[in-house]
Structure 1
């Protein structure tokens, strides 16, 4: 649906290599120093600053600060920092906004937070920077309800997140590993610059094309994938059946892609959805999109050659196009393997039944009344061992939107051709079977596409020298 970018404005958020931007706050009567520690900090991230007291405080106060420049004036910010102390302690987080000359402008203070000993805990506060302010000083300090810091007590603080937002989101920085549809990056030097988290939520856009140029279809655009390889399947659901779009099963996609569904059912609602099985976008949830291809006719085609599509009408086809005969779709047989076994001593035999099959003996016989339309249908039936009929809903409520018809002996019956007529009847009876799993063998190339490849006819002749007719159909570019 979109690409959402979060920006962490803290330039040394996890103190990965130095304690730059951090400082100790000794507190009333206390003495403390801050040092960088290379051990595992919050979430196991290496490196963190630690404040250690050598002289105890005499009042509940003291902690550490983080200073960040580069903020905008009069802007709402959320701030967070994760803290860990050597003992149970009550802390608050204060965001003090200053001008470039370190003139105080205003602040925001969080509610007190109780920390268990040696446990990383988040403190957060939201505040609006005042006019002319360009920096913030975040201070984690002991507050009412807490205790004085004793000699050798310590306080760790890191995982600073400053972002333009009304609430504090989950912590991140540029060192995070890309996962769960999110990509992380430093805007400059590692551990010394702002960082981003980009959340990629894939989206589907559908355009229904009901025209025969050469076949009714749905054009599918996938956008907002991560700019890395993702393994994607696009599923089509119609008439309660879910099926992968041809050419879009376990397809590698980077950022965006376009697929054409040449087998979209006609005249009924069809929904599409994305499934990402591998890559940074793996398991992402994207909403279904629905469309409808409102073609004026059904069609019959080779499922692997979209350009073979022939329109078929339920009644007389205009201009002599193919139309269903009155014998078509009058009977659908749903067979199942069956064995009847007699049981000794019982008058009732036992029936062993197999899976009920899709419709068999489906009659899709049709007629044509024009030589060109007859030739188109003849060429299709000669080249396609399995044909796909995409009926309109009005033909029969029992027919699925996609009828993959295995017809062993299509029969051409010229009726009046001998005395100059053009009526031909076509007997086409077969069983409904599963769709072939191959990708499209001959993709759709328009005349304009081919024309755009070459400046002259001779250039095409030279580039395609030695290619067969089928090679050229598959790829007019010769590649």
Structure 2
């Protein structure tokens, strides 16, 4: 089976008394979005659970779906939020207990770069709700990062003392996006929910360099305006405009699984047939070709 846009980066990690191996698979197709498959194998038998981190774009973040996951010999996760156009590496913190309280250290990984054209917008809790859009002039201009606090003048002082917290994320970031089909326009609206299906009011926006916002930007606190450009003339170009604040993503432990139990049941007539098809549980759980088999 061939996979368009696939690049594999094998490597080795570090772990006490272990030769943990790492494989990063970069996929630039939109099935459902450009992503990086992260596989840590040959883990020591002492490892019971693991949490996977991405180090990229000046930040260390937990990978969605890779928090306190079972790691019996191997662990894998798909990073649907990997940034566009900047280097990324991954590390797994391993634990000797299922509650992830006793750390055994970290693995390491090669450095890879995911690159794709356009801007990807998707629902963090369901990457199948995604669309590719074009960023127009006016996007991410006039960037502002605030401090939350006050300048307080102590008694007898000539200048005030600043009392407050650290610098915050971006606020009031303007976005102007273009879709060129009704299908894509409907996809963008579905990221935030429909009449029948509610979604969390946060979008994951991944823009390419040199735009001066985080490559993985979580947008919240906004109202999206939809403006038809040429629909009156028979076209399908629609412009979407909104101003958003940078917010924290939904809890990283929440994610729509790539391969569900229902997909496995739909692909194999019996449990015996399923068990015979895979050498280990790791290979079964990472057979992403079965994703969506159950509809």
SS in 2 for 1:385: coil
Q: Which residue of 1 aligns with 2:201?
A: 385
User: What is the alpha-carbon distance in structure 1 between the residues aligned to residue 172 and residue 209 of structure 2?
Assistant: 19
Deviation at 1:209, TM superposition (A): 0.7
1: CA distance, partners of 2:80 / 2:179: 24
Q: Is 2:156 the partner of 1:362?
A: no
The alpha-carbon distance between structure 1 residues 404 and 369, as it changes in their structure 2 partners (threshold 3 A), is same
1:414 aligns with 2:225: no
Asked if the contact 1:306/1:443 (under 8 Å) is kept, the reply is no
Q: Give distance in 2, aligned partners of 1:285 and 1:258.
A: 15
1:225 maps onto 2:46 in alignment: no
2:52 to 217, 226, 234: 234
Aligned match of 1:213: 31
**2:62 alignment partner, one of 225, 244, 252:** 244
SS in structure 2 opposite 1:306?
Answer: strand
Aligned-pair distance for 1:440? 4.3
1:215 and 1:309 in contact (8 A); partners too: yes
Question: Residue 400 of structure 1: CA displacement?
Answer: 1.3
The structure-2 alpha-carbon separation of the partners of 1:257 and 1:277, relative to structure 1 and needing over 3 Å to count, comes to: closer
1:420, distance to aligned residue in structure 2 (A): 2.9
TM-score normalised by length of structure 1:
0.48
Structure 2: gaps (5+ residues): 1-10, 194-198, 270-290
SS in 1 for 2:104: coil
Secondary structure of 1:267's match? coil
Relative distance call for 1:286 and 1:355 in structure 2 (3 A) is closer
Shift, 1:330, TM fit:
0.7
1:266 aligns with 2:84: yes
Note closer, same or farther for the CA distance 1:243–1:424 as it changes in structure 2 (3 Å cut): same
The corresponding residue for 2:7 is none
Q: 2:219 aligns with which of 387, 405, 410?
A: 405
Does the 8 Å CA contact 1:273/1:289 hold for their aligned counterparts? no
Q: 1:295 maps to which residue?
A: 116
Structure 1 distance, partners of 2:205, 2:112, is: 20
Tell me, yes or no, if the aligned pair for 2:64 and 2:252 is still in contact at 8 Å: yes
Cα deviation, residue 329, structure 1: 0.8
Which consecutive segments of 4 or more residues in structure 1 shift more than 6 A?
A: none
Picking from 280, 286, 291, the partner of 2:107 is: 286
Aligned 8 A contact 1:220 1:261 in 2: yes
Aligned length: 252
| TM-score (normalizing by structure 2) | 0.75
- Equivalence for 1:330: 141
Residues in 2 aligned to 1:475 and 1:261: alpha-carbon distance in whole angstroms: 18
RMSD: 3.0
1:139-218 matches, within 5 Å, as 199-218=17-36
CA 1:201–1:412 in structure 2 vs 1: closer, same or farther (change >3 Å)?
same
SS at match of 1:372: helix
Contact 2:204 2:216 in 1 (8 A): yes
**Are residues 285 and 361 of structure 1, via their aligned partners in 2, closer, same or farther at CA, if it must alter by over 3 Å?**
closer
Post-superposition offset of 1:360: 0.7
CA contact (8 A) 2:145 2:168 kept: yes
Match of 1:305 among 103, 126, 129: 126
Deviations 1:148-167 (A, max 9, x none): xxxxxxxxxxxxxxxxxxxx
Tell me the CA shift for residue 392 of structure 1. 0.7
Please list the CA deviations of residues 384-434 of structure 1 after superposition, one character each: whole Å capped at 9, or x if unmatched.
41001111112x2x3112101113311212233344332221112111112
- 8 Å CA contact retained: 1:230, 1:282: no
Q: Distance in 1 between matches of 2:232 and 2:254?
A: 39
List per-residue Cα deviations over 1:128-160 (Å, max 9, x = no partner): xxxxxxxxxxxxxxxxxxxxxxxxxxxxxxxxx
